[in-house]
């Protein structure tokens, strides 16, 4: 068999060769770990663009091995040679191109709802912001752990909670408990992503503040308050993006084994009762049996039977 005959045979069997290489890509290509296996169709579509070019280049320059015999299979030999040489370039370049395209299109719920505004200035700002998102998204993708990366990547290609649950909890039924757990984790990733985007000055303060305050529960978790009045510092936002709590909600630790002293018949809402409802612990903490709340600090006003409660914060 001459080199020309071998190349003609490879061209004639190009469909079979391509199919086997794509099967190899699907089963072996896991550069991102678990998260790298989502959106197989999208990844394969991009891979084909690069693989077609590199494979054709390989066939055009194909040379027969020095040692051949009657059992020599030129198709299998070419596939093996391609996988050891140009395939790596096709795989790596397609992976990079795939994430570039995903990051350009990425727009989580945080950005989507803001973008729906009819304000022309806001729309213009969103267009400009999207152009700067690529590097920011790539950095966030690398910063989060494997499962958060999976959630972030799945959201970026439009997957819903049920689909994400199947990735996070493949052995569990999609019942109410699984749905709640999945939605909770999705909200955390969205919030951390929002904090990361804001820390990188993608949006104006007004848009950023509106975005954060769409997540009152997450505000409470990371900043200790449900509604943020001003943009946190860049350092604080970066901590949140990493999953670190900036400020715990103002609460007080009560030693439940301690017997508290009666303090007031007036509850924290200012309503007076005919029996003691507020008790004081040795560390100064007050507990209200009516509202089930605690207070941080107190100033005592009036006599022992009619004490007004003045707090330094809740």
- The 294-295 sheet, strands edge to edge: 261-264, 278-280, 286-288, 294-295
Rounded Cα distance, 159 and 169, in Å: 15
SS (H, E, C) the chain: CCHHHHHHHHHHCHHHHHHHHHHHHHHHCCCCHHHHHCCHHHHHHHHHHHHHHHHHHHHHCCCCCCCCCCCCCHHHHHHHHHHHCCHHHHHHHHHHHHHHHHHHHCCCHHHHHHHCCCCHHHHHHHHHHHHCHHHHHHHHHHHCCHHHHHHHHHHHCCCCHHHHHHHHCCCCCCCHHHHHHHHHHHHHHHHHHHHHHHHCCCCCHHHHHHHHCCCHHHHHHHHCCCCCCCCCCHHHHHHHHCCCCCCCCCCCCCCCCCCCEEEECECCCCCECCCCCEEECCCCCEEECCCCCEECCEEEECCCCCCEEEECCC
Q: Which of the listed ranges 102-111, 152-161, 179-188, 238-247 does the model predict with the highest average pLDDT?
A: 179-188
pLDDT value at position 31? 47
The answer, yes or no, to whether residue 255 has pLDDT greater than 70, is no
Of the listed ranges 28-32, 77-81, 282-286, the least confidently predicted one is 28-32
pLDDT value at position 157? 80
Q: What value does the mean pLDDT take over residues 97-124? A: 54
pTM of the entire predicted model: 0.45
Q: Tell which wins on pLDDT, 132 or 313.
A: 132
**How confident is residue 260, by pLDDT bands cut at 50, 70 and 90?**
confident
pLDDT digits (tens, 9 = 90+) for 26-51: 887 554 433 444 567 778 888 898 99
pLDDT value at position 108? 47
pLDDT value at position 19? 92
User: What are the residue ranges spanned by the domains of the chain?
Assistant: 3-104, 106-241, 261-311
The answer, yes or no, to whether residue 206 has pLDDT greater than 60, is yes
pLDDT value at position 243? 87
**Sequence-separated (6 or more) residues with CB below 8 Å from residue 85:** 58
């Amino acid at each position: 068999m001459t080199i020309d005959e071998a190349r003609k045979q490879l061209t004639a069997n190009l469909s079979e060769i391509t199919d086997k290489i794509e099967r190899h890509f699907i089963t072996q290509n896991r550069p991102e770990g678990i998260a790298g296996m989502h959106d197989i169709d999208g990844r394969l579509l991009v891979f084909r663009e690069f693989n077609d070019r590199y494979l054709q280049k390989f066939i055009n320059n194909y040379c027969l091995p020095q040692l051949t015999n009657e059992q020599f299979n030129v198709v299998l030999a070419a596939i093996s040679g391609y996988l050891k040489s140009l395939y790596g370039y096709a795989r790596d370049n397609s992976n990079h191109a795939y994430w570039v395209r995903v990051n350009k299109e990425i727009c989580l719920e945080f950005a989507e709802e803001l973008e729906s505004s009819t304000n022309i200035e806001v729309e213009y700002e969103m267009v400009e912001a999207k152009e700067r998102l690529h590097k920011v998204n790539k950095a966030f993708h690398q910063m989060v752990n494997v499962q958060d990366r999976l959630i972030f990547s799945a959201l970026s290609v439009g997957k819903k909670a049920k689909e994400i649950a199947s990735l996070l909890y493949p052995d569990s039924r999609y019942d109410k408990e699984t749905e709640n757990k999945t939605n909770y984790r999705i909200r955390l990733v969205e919030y951390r992503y929002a904090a990361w985007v804001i820390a990188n000055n993608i949006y104006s303060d007004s848009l950023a503040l509106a975005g954060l305050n769409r997540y009152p529960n997450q505000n409470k978790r990371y900043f200790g308050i449900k509604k943020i009045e001003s943009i946190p510092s860049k350092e604080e936002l970066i901590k949140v993006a990493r999953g670190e709590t900036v400020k715990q909600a103002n609460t007080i630790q009560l030693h439940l084994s301690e017997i508290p002293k009666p303090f007031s018949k007036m509850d924290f809402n200012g309503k007076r009762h005919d029996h003691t409802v507020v008790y004081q612990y040795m560390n100064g903490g007050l507990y209200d049996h009516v509202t089930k709340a605690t207070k941080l600090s107190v100033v005592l006003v009036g006599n022992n039977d009619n004490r007004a409660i003045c707090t330094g914060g809740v």
